[in-house]
Amino acid sequence: MNETSYHHGDLRTAMIEKGMEMINEGGLKNLSLRKLAAACGVSHAAPYSHFSGKDDLFAAIQNHITDKFVIVLNEAIKNSSETSDGLFHMGCNYVLFFVRNPKYFSFLFSRANIYLDLTGESGGYEPFAIYKKLMHQLFAETQYPEELWLKTILSHWAFVHGLASVVTMSGADTIKEWEDIIPDLLANNYFLQ
C-alpha cells in the first residue's frame, strides 16, 4: 500500500469523500468501485461491504453532502431570534458552505436528480424545503400578499443559489474576503432586512 492508503477510521466516509472527488475529476462513467478501492488503498472487495454498486455510492455521496448542508442551514435558524434574521443567516450559511466546499456544489447541482417542489407543501430537496418553510413563516408574520409568495421565494432562492454558483467558479478562489463580502451582499439585497 502507498502512503495515501486508508489505514483506519471511517472507511465509508473516506470512500464517499474520495468518490466525490473522483466523480468531479473524471465523471461518473470513469468511476468504478475497484478504482475507488485502489485510491483508498483497500482491497477491491472492501467498497462492496458499504455500497452495492456505483449508483449506491452516488446516492451515499449526495446524501452525505446534503446532510452536512442541512446541518449548516439549521444552525443559522437555531441561532437566530427572529425569522428574518434566520433567513439572512441561512442565506449566508448557504453560500459560505460552498465557499468552504466548492466541489460539493458541482457534485450536487450538476446532476439531474434534485427535485424542488415549488408549489406543493413538501419543498422537495431538503435544503430548499427548509428555506421555503422559513419564507412561509416570514410571509405569515409580515402578512405578505400570498399572490407574491412563489415569485419572492424563487427570486431570493435564485439570488442565494446564484451567489453560491459564482463563488465556486474557477477564479473565485482568488477572492479571500468571501466571509465578509457575502453578508454585505445579502444585507443589501435580501427580503425584509
Q: Tell me the residue ranges of DSSP E strands in 7-114.
A: none
160 close to 152: Cβ distance less than 8 angstroms: no
pTM for the full model? 0.84
41 close to 6: Cβ distance less than 8 angstroms: yes
In the block, cell 478504482 appears at 35
Q: What distance in Å separates the CA atoms of residue 108 and residue 113, rounded to the nearest whole number?
A: 9
pLDDT range class, residue 193, cuts 50, 70, 90: very low
Task: Tell me what pLDDT residue 9 has.
Answer: 60
User: What digits encode the pLDDT tens for the residues 71-121?
Assistant: 999 999 998 889 989 999 999 999 999 999 888 898 888 776 888 888 887
Report, in this order, helix, strand and coil percent for the chain, each rounded to 5: 70, 0, 30
